[in-house]
Amino acid sequence: MRCIINGETIHLPSHVSTVAQLLHHFHIHKKIAIVEINMHIVPKEDYEHTAIADGDRIEIVHFVGGG
C-alpha cells in the first residue's frame, strides 16, 4: 500500500492496515501522537479499528519534551 505520510509517499508493508499498526510500524507511542487522515483527525480510542487505505494522506504529529 502507498500512502502520503507527512507529505512523502511511503510504501507500507501489507501487515500495516490500521492506525495503531501504522504508529507501531514507526515506533511511535500512540498516546503521544495525533493522527489526521485526509484532513480528518482520528480520536485516540479509534486507532485500533480505523483502517488506512491506499492513497490516504496521513499526517502524524508526535509530542516531544525537549527545549
Partner 1 sequence: MNRYSRQQLFAPIGEKGQRYIRKKHVLIIGAGALGAANAETLVRAGIGKITIIDRDYVEWSNLQRQQLYTEDDAAKQLPKAIAASVHLRAINRDVVVEPIVADADARLLDDFVARERPDIILDSTDNFDVRMIINDVSQKYDVPWIYGACVGSYGLSYVIIPNETPCLRCLLEEVPLGNATCDTVGIISPVVHMVVAHQTVEALKICVHAQVNRKLVSFDIWQGQYRMIDVHKLKKDDCPSCGKTRTYPALQYENETKFAVLCGRETVQIRPARRGEREWTTLLLFLEKCGIQVEQNDYLCSFTVDGRRFVVFSDGRVFIHGTNDIQEAKRLYYQYLG
- By the criterion CB under 8 A, which residues form the site for partner 1? 6-7, 27, 29, 31-32, 34, 36, 41, 43-44, 59, 61, 63-67
Nearer to partner 1, 34 or 53 (CB): 34
Indicate if the alpha-carbon torsion angle 16, 32, 57, 37 is positive or negative.
positive
In 3D space, the residue among 9, 41, 5 whose CA is nearest the CA of residue 23 turns out to be 5
Nearer to partner 1, 13 or 66 (CB): 66
Nearer to partner 1, 45 or 54 (CB): 45
CA 39/CA 24 separation, integer angstroms = 21
